[in-house]
Amino acid sequence: MTEDPHSVSGAVTVGFALLLVAMILCLALEEKLHAKKSVIVAVFAVACLLLGGLLDLLPFEEMVVVVGEERIELPIYIPAIDWGVVAIILGSSLFVDITSKSGLFTWIAIVLTKTSRGDPVRLLIFYGVMTVAFSAVLNNVTAMIIVGSLTAVSLGRLGIGDKLLGFLLVEGLLTNVGGLLTLISSVPNIIVGNAAGITFVTFFAKAAPYVVVVTGITIWLGAKVFDIRPLASDEARSEAAQRVSGFDENDGIESRFKFNFGAVMLGAFIVTIAAASIPDTVLNSLGMGYVALSFAVIMLVQYKSIADRFYQAVDWDLLAFFGALFVVINVMEHAQVLALIGRGLAPILELGETVGPATMLFSSAVASSVTDNIPLAAMLAQILGNLDLAADSPYWWAVIFGANLGGNITPIGSASTVVAMTIISKHKLPLSFVGFVKLASLFAVVQIIIAVVYVVGLTMAGVFSVTSG
């Protein structure tokens, strides 16, 4: 099977595109269908594989592993799955769950809660900024898992668990904003940044102002939408401060040794994950998934007597969802659906120095809301790379902003929003696919509009250049 786009007929490509649309609609109607997301996507994954096999779209013969003199043929769905992402989710979830047993996360949550003096808005600001910072140095999924766990503890202690949905949704949206902060914060950044030749320092200098402004606006908007208000009176503030002063951060610490061990491991985990993001290093070659699983294993050894509890607590449904979704996206790639999206975006380059980047940003955001932003970013980077654009061309930045922010439009737009939805579901908070889109789209539209204004504004100011390199 050749991957030449001309080898796939237009009718086949359109047919698979309609299949992708059908899957998205079924996910939107999840509650009415009375089926889990993983089951819905798995059904479409099976259908895609069968149709792809019947139409000879999938390279079954090429998927082999050579072990010594043995050649092992792999089913297409094995290499189709991004096992690195699966490993990150599994490893990070296990690590966080086990580390929480030490009382460390309760300690951090109570310290933050006491620092906020019981004010919900302050706490939202603390966790919002923490989410962005963690997303910048870790990966978005790990950041969401850690911050989400801390948030649930803090709000539970304050007796305002009814605000948890708002906190978690804001944090989920901010993971993708934080993913814009540095060159290594997200995979699309790395792909597009390397293709464009953007340096780490240049990337940070040009992205940071946007991230700072939009973080503040997102937190403010979250407080308004979810009715998270500051304490209104001196009496309420005094009462809240008195209440949190009685909190003991040492509650839940059963063993000082295990607490200290957990603290050291958390620090090492953050540093190691961040180091694994740096290109051309040993850790980068091994992958973040390897790092996450390694730390999970170390913590499992520490709590080996109750390891079964942690295995049972793993969200296997979430892992199944991601596995099936990767299969669907892979087949869509072979069916040239992503290439079709790319060809649809190509004429945008002829629209001028302001309209062109604005349209590119908006279009890539919409596209990344319904499909994996990694192959999309790779495809667009290749298209732009063939045009010999300057490193500071606004088109590069349009793709970077669009690919990252598009994940905030739907709950399947990014791995972090999927994880956020899972945490929301874990706490039995009511939020459907459609409900997420209704709430998140307001934030996403604001973020994308500001991004458009930012990119176009810097282009008109001469910071970005449309001339060829």
Largest CA distance in the chain: 77
Assess if residue 45 is contained within a domain: yes
Task: For residue 136, give the 3-state DSSP assignment.
Answer: helix
**Arithmetic mean of pLDDT over the chain:** 82
Would you state the structure tokens that stand for residue 446, as one six-digit string?
């604001």
- Residue 349 pLDDT exceeds 80: no
Mean pLDDT of all residues in 316-326: 81
Assess if residue 319 is contained within a domain: yes
- Separation CA 79–CA 400 (nearest Å): 26
Assess if residue 115 is contained within a domain: no
Task: For residue 65, give the 3-state DSSP assignment.
Answer: strand
**Residue tagged 């208000």 (tokens):** 229
Quick one: pLDDT band at residue 5, thresholds 50, 70, 90? very low
User: Distances in Å between the alpha carbon of 231 and those of 167, 171, 216?
Assistant: 17, 21, 19
Output the pLDDT for position 218: 96
Assess if residue 57 is contained within a domain: yes
- Separation CA 361–CA 236 (nearest Å): 45
Assess if residue 1 is contained within a domain: yes
Mean pLDDT of all residues in 152-170: 86
Alpha helices, DSSP H, located in 427-466: 433-460
Would you state the structure tokens that stand for residue 81, as one six-digit string?
């799955």
Mean pLDDT of all residues in 285-308: 82
- Separation CA 27–CA 366 (nearest Å): 17
Number of structural domains found in the chain: 1
User: Which residue range(s) make up the domain with 19?
Assistant: 1-80+315-335
Of 263-272, 302-311, 453-462, least confident by mean pLDDT is: 302-311
- Between 15 and 350, the higher pLDDT residue: 15
Assess if residue 51 is contained within a domain: yes
**Residue tagged 């050291």 (tokens):** 264
Assess if residue 34 is contained within a domain: yes
Contact 289, 89 (CB under 8 A): no
Output the pLDDT for position 469: 46
Assess if residue 320 is contained within a domain: yes
